[in-house]
Structures are given as structure tokens and as C-alpha cells.
Amino acid sequence: MWHIAKRELYDNLNSLRFALATVLLLGLMLTNAAVYLHEQPKRTQKYNAAVTESVNDLTVRADSLYTLAREGPGLLYKKPSSLRFCAEGGEPFLPNVVGGAFLWSISGGLKGFWRLNYPSTTPNLTDIRPNVTKVDWAFIIGYVLSLIAILFTFDAISGERELGTLRLMLANPMPRYTILIGKFLGALISIGIPLTLAVLMNLLLISTSSAVQLGPDAWERLGIIFFIAILYTGLFLALGLLVSTCVSRSAVSLVILLLIWVTFVVFVPSTLASIAGGFSSPMSTDELWQRRGELYAKRWERYDAYFAERVERSKEIQFKGEHVIAEAEEQERVNEEHLAQQIDQVKFARRTTQISPIAIAQHLIESFAGTGFERHLQFLENTRTHARQFRKFIADTDSGDPESSHIIGIRQGMSEKPVSPAAVPKFEDTLNLNQDFNAAMMDLLLLVLLFVVLLSGAYLAFVRVEV
């Protein structure tokens, strides 16, 4: 078997396609590193500046607990991943900030309380540069590597059959599967060599630069991504072998393979996503505004009804506080519902695209690189946790003040003492590998399953093939 793998390897190493693949991969990986090194420091700087500003704003508001509670924790920013070069993951289209809203005045002389509010448009409205895919690892692996894999295997069996060498090889006393596995390994190694080389060059460039630091966690992630790349290449090699076995002429084999490639790599991830997205229609922004307006009006009706009768002064404050809090909570719930519907639509679309291996691979790379949709969900979850923490902090601080009457939502009912800015919980956007790994396990299994199915398919086809 190793003999055959070695022969394949030598064959490939001398070929034109090997040289072209090496040049292509090296060029892409180096560009990727250069762009990343240019952009990442700026991105981090921007993030840090924004976070500092947000914290400074918080300090201003901390002069009284009431103001702090009313105006909220400020803007919460998504931390840029240090592995952004692995997958862009549609980051430019995803909001990198979750804000809050508070109303300067809601009628009755009351002021609205802070609630979570999610941005409703994409952040790049004024970007007039032509939009092209970013050259990230996900692109290099997903598009280029799969194409190279096809070009390495389309004639693996059919080519030898055309030349007649297959018959010669089968005349030797060895089982057929060794030939197949040998060919597979040979191709895998001969793609693995330029890939490893390119990846190493890329990482060398990135790790030697002082501008970016990759922690031990990042290297772990990179290792996994590399493994995914190899698995994905193997999958396309198996596909190539399968088609090459079934078809008698190399040219036909290539045409079939390219059509499959176009369908799965170009067509499925975008068109199918649009089709799947069309099945659900989440609440539109207009509807959201309408819902909010209705709720707001209803709340005020209740408020007016309450004050239509004479009430005690002490109870009045209590009611007003509850009114303000309930208004904010209601509105936040609608915001959440709106977001949840949007997320469900995207989730469904993403799940549908997973019939294509490239989508699986890209999702995997994204989740290990800490970018993209899954990451965005984590970020949103983090902001929610923070909002809870923040509210708990307000309640705790307030109950710690003996002068306050502990009615949150209104100035008269709350502590007026200044809050130490250091004590206010800080938002920290975190990301852990463990969680990623659990979420990605299904995808990984799916990829392995596809690989096994294709390889055994190729084996079965090859065993039955007449030479």
C-alpha cells in the first residue's frame, strides 16, 4: 500500500498541478497573513477605544444610582477574535455592538428605564467598495482546496484505465483496496505538503509580528482547524476517486466533478439559504415598531386608569416605579422576540445549507475561529447575562442604602448616592473553546460521516469495476 502511495506521491510531485497548487496556496496564505496583520491591530485598537469610551460614559452616569440604573451600562461591544484570519464569517454584516435604549421622557413626567435594544440594519451601509469575498482560511480551504482536490483525483482511476496501466497494476498480487487507499493517501499527502507549507508560512508571518499575539488557546484552535482542513480535503478526494472509478473517461469525470463542485460549493450555500430563508418571515422592523407602540399605549391606558381615582402618595410612587420598570421590560421582551425570530430564520437557513460539505466546513472553521454567526449568538448571550448582572447590581446596591425606599424605577424611590464606577460590573465578551467544541461536534461528525460514506462508496465501486 505504501508502495503505491509513494509512487502516486512521486508522480504528483513532478506534475504541473502540484506546482500550480503550491504557488496558489502559498500566494493566498501569504496575502491572508499580510491583510490580517494590517487590519487586526486597527480592529483591536478600535475595539479598545470604544470600550474605554463606553466605560468613561459609565463613570459620568455613576453620580447617582438612579441615573446609572436609568441610562444603563452603555454600549456593549463584541470583542474581535484574534483568529479572524481563519474565517471572516460574515462579520462585516453582523452588528458588533448591542446598545440599550432609554427614553428621555415618557409622559406623566416619568423617564423611561434602560432596556436592551438590538441594531436593526447592517453596519456597512456606506461601503461603496466592490464587495468580494475576503481571502480567509475558510475561503482557501472551502473553495480552493476542494477544487485542487478534485483536480488531483479526477483521473486517478479513469486516467490509468485509459492508459492501460490499471490493468498492469491489478496483475500484481495485491488486494484492490490497497490500490485505492494508496491512491487516496498519495493524493492526500501531495496536497497536504503544499497546504502545510502554506499554513506554516502564514502562521510564521503572523506569530513573528509583534502587532498580534496568539495565546495557547488560539494554537489549540488552529490545530483543530488544520485537522478540519485535512478532513475536508480527504472528503473531496474520496468524491474524486468515486466519480473517477464510475466513469470510464477522465474528461467526463472532470465535467461531472466540476458540476458537483459548482452545485455544492457555489450554489447550495447561497441559493439554498435564500430559499430556506423565504419559508419563514420574521417580524419586520415596521411590525416591531408597531408592536412597541401598541404596548406603550396600553401601558399608558392602565396608568391613566390608575390615576383616574385618588390614590395615596406613598402608593403612587410605588405604582410609578412599577410602571416604568414594566414598560422597559415589556419593550425589551418585544425586542427579544424580534431578534429571536430573526435568529431562527438564519438558523434554519444555515441548517439547510449543511447538506453541502463546504457549509459544514465553514461553520466549523467559524466556530473554532470565534467569528461568524455562532459567535454572534454567544455575544448576544453574553450581553443578556450582563444585563441581568447589571440589574442585580442595581437592586443590591439600592438595598444596601438605608435611606432609599427601595422602589426601583423612579428617582424618589431610589438611592441617590453616587456609585463607585469600579464597583459597576464591567462587560466582558468572552469565548471558550469547550462550548465551541460541543456545538461543533455535530458538524464534525457529519463531516466524518460524509467522508466515510464517500470513501466506502469509492471502495465498492472500485471493487466491482471491470478493467
Partner 1 sequence: MLTLIRRELLDNLMTFRFAAAVFIMLLLVVSNTVVLIKDYERRLADYNTAVKTHHQQLQEKKTYSAGRLHVDRPPNPLSIFNIGMDKQLGNQVEVYFGFVPTLWDAKMHGSDNPIMNIFSSIDIAFIFKVVLSLLALIFAYDTLAGEREQGTLRLVLTHPVRRGHILFAKYMSAMVCLLVPLLMSVLLAVILLTTSTSISLSTDDFLRMAGFILTTIVYLSVFYLIGMLISALTRRTGTALMLSMFVWGFWVLIYPNMILASILPQPTVEARASSTFNQIEQLWEEFEREQEQYLKNDAVPGEDPGFGIGWVGGSMNRLNKDAATLQYYYKKGFNITEIDERSEPQMPHIQNYYQFLVPLTIDIADRTWRIRKPALEKIYVRPALIDRILLKVSPIGMYDTATQAWVGTDLLGIQDFFSAARQYRKTVIDFFYDKNAFASRQWIAADKGAADWSTLPQFSFQRSGIRINATRALPDIFLLLMTNIVLFIIIFLIFIKTEV
Which of the residues 274 through 333 are near partner 1 (CB under 8 A)? 274-275, 277-278, 282, 284-288
Determine if 192 is a binding residue for partner 1 (CB under 8 A): no
Q: Does 266 bind partner 1 (CB under 8 A)?
A: yes
Of 194-202, 222-230, 249-257, 293-301, the segment contacting partner 1 by CB under 8 A is 249-257
Among residues 10, 93, 177, 307, the one that binds partner 1 under rule CB under 8 A: 93
> Of 33, 430, 83, 30, which Cα lies nearest the Cα of 223?
83
Residues 353-382 that bind partner 1 (CB under 8 A): 353, 372-373, 376
Residue 143 beta carbon to partner 1: minimum distance, rounded to whole angstroms: 6
The nearer residue to partner 1, 127 or 294, going by C-beta atoms, is 127
Distance CA 63, CA 82 (A): 36
Nearest distance in Å: CB 151, partner 1: 6
162 burial type by CB count under 10 A (0-12 exposed, 13-18 middle, 19+ buried): middle
Comparison of 118 and 300: residue with beta carbon closer to partner 1 = 118
Instruction: List the one residue from 130, 164, 173, 216 that touches partner 1 (CB under 8 A).
Output: 130
Residue 108: count other Cβ atoms within 10 Å of its Cβ.
13
How far is Cα 40 from Cα 56, in angstroms, rounded to an integer? 24
264 binds partner 1 (CB under 8 A): no
Q: Least distance in Å: CB of 446 to partner 1?
A: 19
Interhelix angle for 16-61 vs 2-13, to 10°? 90
DSSP 340-364: HHHHHHHHHHHHHHTTSHHHHHHHH
The yes or no reply on residue 262 touching partner 1 (CB under 8 A) is yes
> What is the nearest approach in angstroms of partner 1 to the Cβ of residue 26?
12
Closest alpha carbon to 242 in 395, 463, 393, 57: 463
Contact 359, 77 (CB under 8 A): no
Residue 325 vs 380, nearer CB to partner 1: 380
H helix or E strand, kind and range, residue 372? helix 372-399
Q: Which is nearer to partner 1, 192 or 282 (by Cβ)?
A: 282
Q: 130: Cβ–Cβ under 8 A, 6 or more apart, which residues?
A: none
Cβ pair 80, 45 in contact under 8 A? no
Tell which positions 22-41 bind partner 1, by CB under 8 A: 24, 27-28, 31-32, 34-35, 38
Binding segment for partner 1 among 2-10, 147-155, 402-410, 430-438 (CB under 8 A)?
147-155
Query: Is position 438 an interface residue for partner 1 (rule: CB under 8 A)?
Result: no
